[in-house]
Each structure stands twice: as structure tokens, then as C-alpha cells.
Amino acid sequence: MNLLAYLIYLLFTWVITVHAGHSFYKNGRNYLLNMLDGNEKITDIVNRLLLTGYYMINLGYVTMMISYWNTITSIQELVDSVCFKTGKIMVLLACMHYFNLGVIYIYHQYHLVQNKFNH
């Protein structure tokens, strides 16, 4: 049963990871471009770094979660385990996403204040 749970979990997390990562990368560029004062070069670098970090954290977390999985003996345990572990990574990734947005926003606000004092 564990092998089936692993396969379902890996499929779900792969689909979620790829879809969300692509969406953040594509749609987040405009946010980053605005927050980084239209600097396209820095925006693209930061966007790629965020995507790379996102994939690395997600893949590492998924791999670690499989190694901590208890033995599954029923369909109910399989569904419970897959749902709990999938939900857990989704919440973690959402928190990371909003944390990153907040850090970039704070950087932008700091940069605006610095520009006011320098002019």
C-alpha cells in the first residue's frame, strides 16, 4: 500500500509544484518588475532564483516526507496520509510565497524611503 501512496503523493505534488511554480514565475514577473522599479535584468534574475528555490524546497520536502511515512494498511489510511501530506506541503508553499512577497514589498518600501532622502 505504501508504494501506491507514494506514487499518488508524488503525482499530486508534481502537478501542484509545476503548475504553481509556472504560475508564480509567469505572473509574478509583473509584481517583481513593479517592486524593483522596472529593472528588467534584476527582475528576471530574482524571478529565476525564486523559482529555483521554490523547486528545491518542494522537492526536498516531498522526498523527506516519503521517508517519514508510516506503514499503510488500508485504503482509509492511504487517503488520509496522501491528503494530509499534500495539504501540508500546499500550506508550507503558500506561506513561503506570501513571505517572499512581503520581503520584496518591504525591500521596495525601504528603497522608496532611501530615494526620498537622497533627493
| Tens-digit pLDDT profile for residues 59-87 | 899 989 888 888 999 999 999 999 999 99
In angstroms, rounded to a whole number, what is the distance separating the alpha carbons of residues 89 and 57? 10
Q: What percent of the chain has pLDDT over 90?
A: 64
Which has the closest alpha carbon to 68: 81, 50, 54?
Answer: 81
Backbone angles phi, psi at 9, to 5 degrees: -60, -45
Q: Is the pLDDT of residue 119 over 70?
A: no
3-state SS record for 16-33: HHHHHHHHHHHHHHHHHH
Look at residue 80 in the predicted model and tell me its pLDDT: 94
What does the alpha-carbon distance between residue 102 and residue 51 come to, in Å, rounded to a whole number?
Answer: 16
Residue 113 pLDDT exceeds 90: no
pLDDT band at 13 (very low <50, low <70, confident <90, very high): very high
Mean pLDDT over each residue of the chain, to the nearest integer: 91
Q: What percent of the chain has pLDDT over 70?
A: 99
